[in-house]
């Protein structure tokens, strides 16, 4: 038996619970049977239903808190939105939404969800693992793997929700969650259609910094190695102290030479326009050691294998526009679109209802779900 065939046989034997013994006999491995889904650690009934969003409530839309879990057993909390005009028993196409990176559902994803619900979709805006009202310790930890999984967990929930028109589920990711949305779509064919708005590739951003196109690879490598050493040392200190150092959110006071895109972030996260106390973008930032996972784990490696429809939306004047343009070049098939919104900067697509192209988003999901 050659090496490749032996490895396939061995993996099959292990996965089926059978191991070969030295005398040529076989015995069933001591397996306990299928793992059971954990009980939710948060009950929806214990959560406040009071309106605490940074955007106004739409009288045409009803919303309620729901809980669900991902495959790591972390309970996630979301706001489920639906039109008050929905007929009794009517099943609706559904959309899961998250983002931006560092935001909570009360800031941006909920705004998108409410508007799309008013247009006839069942929408779920959720807080990622470790953030907002969702469970997970330590707080405000991030992970390219777990955050991608959170989208698929939301799909699990929607596909098992009796209000969903079964099989008609899409996702919408904003800012850093646009990158996670594409990552999820590449591995989860249950996602029928994907929209990204003002997308970031967080792994690329954290590993290489901003505007990495054209920078020498040696320069990027040296900076990444230096950052890895510094943050790894912080892990040791965190374990010793029992406290996690935070990466820092948007600064309270802007330096005089702050780039315009940082000023735009400040205008959203640190003012009445978008501030929310549960948002690490508005407060502490993520745990500093979370950055190591992104530096070492690229996302969207298999973006070229997404077979389902994708719509990428970005502002013409957004500092982050190159993320969407670069990944668009790698997408294959005739069902991929790149929409550039004239004159828009990155954060315009967070909350400017006159700029976010909801008509195009609605038409895309109606066609493809």
Distance, CA of 154 to CA of 150 (rounded, Å): 6
Query: Tell me: the pLDDT tens digits for 139-153?
Result: 999 999 999 999 999
The secondary element (H helix, E strand) that includes residue 295 is: helix 290-296
Q: What is the pLDDT of residue 278?
A: 97
The architecture CATH gives domain 44-201+268-285+299-368: 3-Layer(aba) Sandwich (3.40)
Distance, CA of 110 to CA of 210 (rounded, Å): 27
Catalogue the E-assigned strands of 255-315.
Answer: 310-315
Residues with Cβ within 8 Å of 217's Cβ and at least 6 positions away in sequence, in order, are none
Q: What is the pLDDT of residue 27?
A: 47
The SS3 assignment for 195 reads: strand
Q: Which residue ranges make up each domain of the chain? A: 44-201+268-285+299-368
Query: Tell me: the pLDDT tens digits for 89-102?
Result: 999 999 999 999 99
Dihedrals φ, ψ of 12, to 5°? Answer: -65, -40
One digit per residue, the tens of pLDDT, for the chain of length 369 reads 555 454 455 555 445 444 444 444 444 556 778 999 889 999 999 999 999 999 999 999 999 999 999 999 999 999 999 999 999 999 999 999 999 999 999 999 999 999 999 999 999 999 999 999 999 999 999 999 999 999 999 999 999 999 999 899 999 999 999 999 999 999 999 999 999 999 999 999 999 999 998 899 999 999 999 999 999 999 999 999 999 999 998 999 999 999 999 999 999 999 999 999 999 999 999 999 999 999 999 999 999 999 999 999 999 999 999 999 999 999 999 999 999 999 999 999 999 999 999 999 999 999 999
CA angle at residue 259 from 214 to 319, to 5 degrees? 50
Distance, CA of 94 to CA of 168 (rounded, Å): 6
Peptide linkage before 138 cis (omega within 30 of 0): yes
Spatial contact of 75 and 54, defined as CB atoms under 8 Å apart: no
* Joined tokens for residue 222: 């040296």
């Amino acid at each position: 038996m050659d090496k490749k065939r032996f490895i396939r046989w061995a993996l099959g034997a292990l996965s089926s619970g059978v191991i070969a013994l030295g005398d040529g006999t076989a015995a069933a491995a001591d397996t306990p049977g299928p793992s059971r889904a954990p009980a939710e650690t948060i009950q929806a009934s214990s959560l406040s239903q009071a309106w605490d969003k940074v955007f106004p409530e739409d009288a045409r839309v009803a919303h309620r808190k729901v809980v669900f879990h991902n495959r790591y057993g972390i309970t996630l909390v979301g706001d489920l939105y639906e039109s008050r005009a929905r007929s009794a028993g009517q099943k609706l196409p559904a959309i899961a939404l998250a983002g931006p990176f560092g935001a909570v559902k009360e800031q941006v994803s909920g705004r998108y969800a409410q508007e799309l619900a008013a247009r006839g979709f069942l929408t779920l805006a959720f807080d990622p693992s470790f953030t907002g009202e969702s469970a997970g310790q330590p707080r405000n930890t991030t992970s390219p793997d777990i955050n991608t999984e959170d989208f698929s967990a939301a799909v699990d929930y929607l596909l098992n929700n009796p209000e969903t028109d079964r099989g008609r589920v899409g996702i919408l990711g904003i800012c850093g969650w646009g990158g996670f949305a594409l990552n999820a779509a590449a591995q989860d064919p249950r996602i029928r259609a994907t929209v990204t708005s003002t997308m970031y590739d967080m792994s690329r951003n954290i590993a290489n910094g901003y505007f990495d196109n054209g920078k020498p690879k040696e320069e990027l490598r040296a900076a990444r190695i230096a950052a890895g050493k510094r943050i790894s040392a912080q892990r040791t200190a965190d374990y010793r102290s029992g406290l996690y150092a935070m990466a820092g959110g948007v600064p309270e006071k802007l330096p005089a030479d702050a780039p315009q895109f940082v000023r735009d972030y400040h205008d959203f996260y640190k003012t009445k326009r978008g501030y929310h106390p549960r948002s690490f973008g508005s407060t502490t930032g993520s745990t500093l050691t979370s950055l190591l996972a992104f530096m070492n784990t690229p996302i969207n490696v298999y973006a070229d294998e997404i077979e389902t429809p994708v719509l990428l939306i970005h502002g013409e004047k957004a500092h982050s526009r190159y993320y969407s343009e670069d990944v668009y070049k790698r997408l294959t098939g005739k069902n991929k679109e790149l929409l550039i919104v004239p004159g828009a900067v990155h954060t315009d697509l967070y909350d400017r209802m006159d700029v976010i192209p909801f008509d195009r988003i609605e038409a895309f999901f109606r066609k493809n779900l």
